[in-house]
Structure 1
Amino acid sequence: MDALFTLPPDTPGPREIAPGAVHVPGWLTREQQRWITDRFRDWTRGPVPLRAARLPSGHHMSVRTVCLGWHWQPYRYSRAATDVNGNRVLDFPDWLVALGRQAVAEAYADPLAGAAYTPDAALVNYYDDAATMGMHQDKDEKSPEPVVSLSIGDSCRFRFGNTGTRTKPYDDVELASGDLFVFGGPSRFAYHGVTKVFPGTAPHGCGLHHGRINITMRVTGLS
Structure 2
Amino acid sequence: MDGDHGDHGHHGDHGELFPRERAEIAPGAVHVPDWLGAGRQRELLDACREWARPPAGLRTVRTPGGGVMTARQVCLGLHWYPYGYARTAVDGDGAPVKPMPDWLAALGREAVATAYGRMPDPEVVHDIALVNFYEGDSRMGMHRDAEERSGAPVVSLSLGDSCVFRFGNTASRGRPYRDVELRSGDLFVFGGASRLAYHGVPKVLPGTGPHGLGLTGRLNITLRVGGLGPGPT
TM-score range, shorter chain: over 0.9
Which residue does the alignment assign to 1:171?
178
Contact 2:5–2:37, Cα closer than 8 Å, also in 1: no
Which residue does the alignment assign to 1:42?
50
Question: Please, which runs of 5 or more residues in structure 2 have no aligned partner?
Answer: 11-19
- Verify: 1:219 aligned to 2:222, yes or no: no
Contact 2:8–2:34, Cα closer than 8 Å, also in 1: no
Contact 1:131–1:196, Cα closer than 8 Å, also in 2: yes
Cα distance in 1 for residues equivalent to 2:8 and 2:141: 36
Output the amino acid matched with 2:103.
W
State the TM-score, normalized to the length of structure 2. 0.91
Say which SS state the counterpart of residue 228 (structure 2) adopts: coil
State the TM-score, normalized to the length of structure 1. 0.94
Post-superposition Cα deviations, 1:154-194, rounded to whole Å, max 9, x if no partner, equal: 00000000000110000000000000000000000000000
- Verify: 1:10 aligned to 2:19, yes or no: no
Say which SS state the counterpart of residue 211 (structure 2) adopts: coil
- Verify: 1:29 aligned to 2:28, yes or no: no
Which residue does the alignment assign to 2:111?
103
Which residue does the alignment assign to 1:73?
81
Question: Equivalent residues in 2 for 1:50-129 (5 A)?
Answer: 50-111=58-119, 113=120, 115-129=122-136
Aligned length: 220
Cα distance in 1 for residues equivalent to 2:61 and 2:124: 27
Moved segments of 4+, more than 2 Å: 5-14, 114-117
Distance 1:65 1:9, change over 3 A: closer
What's the % identity of the aligned pairs? 57
Say which SS state the counterpart of residue 115 (structure 2) adopts: helix
Question: Please, which runs of 5 or more residues in structure 1 have no aligned partner?
Answer: none
Distance 1:165 1:158, change over 3 A: same
Cα distance in 1 for residues equivalent to 2:82 and 2:149: 15
- Verify: 1:197 aligned to 2:196, yes or no: no
Say which SS state the counterpart of residue 210 (structure 2) adopts: coil
Contact 2:8–2:35, Cα closer than 8 Å, also in 1: no
Post-superposition Cα deviations, 1:29-65, rounded to whole Å, max 9, x if no partner, equal: 1111111111111011142121111101111110100
Post-superposition Cα deviations, 1:179-212, rounded to whole Å, max 9, x if no partner, equal: 000000000000000000000001122231x100
Say which SS state the counterpart of residue 75 (structure 2) adopts: strand
* Residue number among 137, 160, 163 corresponding to 1:130 in the alignment: 137
Say which SS state the counterpart of residue 196 (structure 2) adopts: coil
Say which SS state the counterpart of residue 173 (structure 1) adopts: strand
Say which SS state the counterpart of residue 181 (structure 1) adopts: strand
Say which SS state the counterpart of residue 97 (structure 1) adopts: helix
Contact 1:33–1:207, Cα closer than 8 Å, also in 2: no
